[in-house]
Structure 1
Amino acid sequence: MYSSISAGNDVLAPTGYEVFAAMLALIAIGVFISALVSLARDAKALTNRETVLWLLLVVFVPLVGPAAWLVTSRRYRRKPAVQ
């Protein structure tokens, strides 16, 4: 009888590639969520059109959209008023 499980191989244990892919997915989800939160916080400093365009970019262009927002959002952040 042919067995697909050879001695020493555990088919339930993830391979290195699967662990790497899972870590990459978790990082992508984290960047996506942080970009959405940042966009929501900075929405008052943007026009409605800019907000919608950034939201579409963040949602529909994975990794690049959220990363682009996080890099460029610094210019939209409010600076504390100097008295």
Structure 2
Amino acid sequence: MGPNPLLPAGYDIVWSVVSFAILALVVVALVSISRSAKLLTSTQALTWTLVAIFVPMLGPIAWLAIGRRAARLSSSPVAASDASD
């Protein structure tokens, strides 16, 4: 008797988990971008949103690793006073 056709193969399970993880990462990045929208210009927010959507793995990771930190630093009072000098 061969493998049961009703049970998914191992690669199907792995592919499903990876796909779900990527989708969850994109959703988390988009929520984070929308919460940080006040700290970003409209061009920056649009660019990060498009990068997060169209570069599925690297876009959200780049936002979570670099973009949030840069947005916070650019809006801090210390950064604003340094920029005005």
For 1:3-42, what aligned pairs fall within 5 Å after superposition?
7-42=1-36
Structure 1 residue runs without a partner (length 5+): 1-6
TM-score, with length taken from structure 2: 0.78
Report the count of equivalent residues.
73
Deviation for aligned residue 1:60: 1.1
CA distance in 1, matches of 2:69, 2:12: 35
Deviation for aligned residue 1:8: 4.3
Moved segments of 4+, more than 4 Å:
none
| Higher Cα Rg, which structure | 1
| C-alpha RMSD of the superposition | 1.5
TM-score, with length taken from structure 1: 0.79
Structure 2 residue runs without a partner (length 5+): 77-85
